[in-house]
Structure formats: C-alpha cells, structure tokens
Amino acid sequence: MKDDIGLQKLSFIMSRKPADSPKPPAYEWQDMALRIIAEFAVPNYKRNSVFRVCKENSKETVEKAINETKELCKAGEKWKYFFKVIDSLKKTKKI
C-alpha cells in the first residue's frame, strides 16, 4: 500500500506528470503519419519518409493514397505500395 504523504500544495500536484504519457502530435500531418505507420506496419528506417510525405503533400492527396493502398494492396508490404501510389499521385498532379 502507498504511504500517505499528507496535504500537498496544488502547484505541486499540477506540476507532476504521469511518467508514461506520450506527447501528443503538434500538427495534423504528424497524427496522419503516425496513423499510416501503425496501419501499414512501416519499418523504422522508413518512418521519416512517411512524415516527409505527410508534411509536403496536402491532406487530400495523402488520404487518397491511403484509400488506394487499402483498396489495391491486399497482400504483401502495404507501406511499399503506399509510396508507389503517393509518387504516382505527385507525378500526375505536376502535369
């Protein structure tokens, strides 16, 4: 059982943070990148590329690539297919 430490100042109680609380994403594109990493099982050495793709492209483009990857890639490494789809979307957008 924990020891009762008595009354404490409110500022002390508010300044304590839980040890295992992760820092929330600062931007929407970071949250999207984390979702892609989890959903497509992106390996650690490609995580930075996912963040760069989400930062440099519009939300609509990334969402379209996610949806196309889910529809077309039923087996295999989905993260590789995601990069192919996002690359083709970028190429068609420039023309």
φ, ψ of residue 59 to 5 degrees: the values are -60, -40
pLDDT of residue 64: 95
pLDDT at 17 over 70: no
Q: How many domains does the chain have?
A: 1
**Structural domain includes residue 39:** no
Return left, alpha or beta for 41; rule: phi > 0 is left, psi -120 to 50 is alpha, else beta: left
> Rounded CA gap, 82 and 88, in Å?
10
**Structural domain includes residue 10:** no
**Structural domain includes residue 26:** no
**Structural domain includes residue 76:** yes
**Structural domain includes residue 22:** no
Query: Which ranges of the chain would DSSP assign to H, the alpha helix?
Result: 10-15, 28-39, 47-56, 59-72, 78-94
**Structural domain includes residue 5:** no
For residues 21-49, give the mean pLDDT. 90
Report residue 76's pLDDT band, with 50, 70 and 90 as the boundaries: confident
> Rounded CA gap, 72 and 57, in Å?
21
pLDDT digit string, tens, across residues 37-75: 999 999 999 999 999 999 999 999 999 999 999 999 888
> Rounded CA gap, 44 and 67, in Å?
22
φ, ψ of residue 47 to 5 degrees: the values are -60, -40
**Structural domain includes residue 3:** no
Q: 23 or 57: which carries more pLDDT confidence?
A: 57
Residues of the domain holding 88? 45-95
pLDDT at 21 over 80: no
Provide Rg for the chain, Cα atoms. Answer: 20
**Structural domain includes residue 58:** yes
Report residue 91's pLDDT band, with 50, 70 and 90 as the boundaries: confident
Q: What is the pTM of this model?
A: 0.72
